[in-house]
Amino acid sequence: MDRNKHRSQRSSRPTHVNTLDDGCLMHIFSFLSPIPDRYNTALVCHRWLFLACHPRLWLRVDRTVKSLTESGVFPSIEEAVSAARPGDTILIGAGGFHFASNIQINKPLCLIGGGDVPDDTTLVCSRGSDSALEFLSTCKLANLTVKAELGCCLLHRSGRLIIEDCNLQCESNPLDYLSYAIITTAGGCEAPLPSATQRNGDSVCVSQTRIKGGAKAVLTSGTLALQRVRAIYAPTSILFWFDVVHPL
């Protein structure tokens, strides 16, 4: 009798969350906001870090999607950015071209190309647009090709922008001198001089990225300056590493 009572009490205890399988935990994590909840979840243990950062929790851009019937899948980058929460990662499907013109990003996001190499995922900025993407918050781009004509590929207004393993290409044009791969206006002339703690706030960090065409790679119209430039000459291209930061 006592043994059965003990078993009954033990079976009525609440199940520990770590006894749930990965799929169930990942489903629970999907309801958390990326910042700060999912970020804090990733700090608990290695397993939770793996699940909280799993690609299944990313938003996806798939040009073949005709309706928003599948949760987290969008037909265009603009719709995915609009629906994203701060801290989300957006995986842009490989193949074909994704049109991106003056898409303003004012929340922390990470945009990643879904192909094996940057050339597999191409963002095209239509002629007459100021830029493909405009950044007003801390963001990261990785494994993407961005093409622009008579404008710039990326327009950086504020925040920390990280560009990693990308291709930035200004299309050949008689007015090439009006095109730039990156334009940053952070810390404009009318802005107050940044303090020591603010100097790390606005910046552009480029690594292992090909830049082709245009008048020059970076145009700065604010207080940021090009620094720490490195280049590696490959057989078919030049890979660049550089920072655009507040001068010391």
Which residues in 166-185 are b (16+ Cβ under 10 Å) and which e? bbbbbbeeeeeeebbbbbbb
pLDDT score of 203: 93
Return the DSSP state at 34. Answer: I
What the block records as the tokens of 191 is 């802005």
Tokens of 149: 């004509």
CB 202 within 8 A of CB 163: no
Q: How far apart are CA 222 and CA 185, in angstroms?
A: 5
Spell out the domain ranges in the chain: 1-57, 58-245
Between strands 225-233 and 238-245, the pairing is antiparallel
Q: What phi and psi, each to the nearest 5 degrees, are found at residue 2? A: -65, -35
| Spatial contact of 81 and 103, defined as CB atoms under 8 Å apart | yes
CA 171 from chain centre, in angstroms, equals: 23
Q: What is the three-class DSSP state of 181?
A: strand
Contact 110/140 with Cβ under 8 angstroms?
yes
- Chain length of the chain: 248
pLDDT tens-digit profile, the chain (248 residues): 555 555 555 555 556 777 888 888 888 888 888 888 888 888 889 988 888 888 888 999 998 887 767 788 999 999 999 999 999 999 999 988 999 999 999 999 999 999 999 999 999 988 778 899 999 999 999 999 999 877 889 999 999 999 999 999 987 765 666 788 999 998 765 444 444 444 458 999 999 999 988 888 899 988 899 999 999 988 878 899 999 998 87
The pLDDT score that the predictor gives to residue 13 is 57
Token output for 65: 């999607």
**Strand partners for 110:** 89, 140
What does the pLDDT read at residue 184? 93
CB 203, CB 225: distance < 8 Å: no
Q: What number does CATH give the domain 1-57? A: 1.20.1280
Is the distance from CB of 90 to CB of 61 less than 8 angstroms? Answer: yes
Q: Is 192 helix (H, G, I), strand (E, B) or coil?
A: coil
Residue with tokens 């079976």: 11
CB 85 within 8 A of CB 57: no
CA distance readout (Å), 47 to 67, 136, 153, 195: 34, 33, 38, 39
- In sequence order, the β-bridge partners of residue 92 are 61, 113
pLDDT at residue 221 in the model: 85
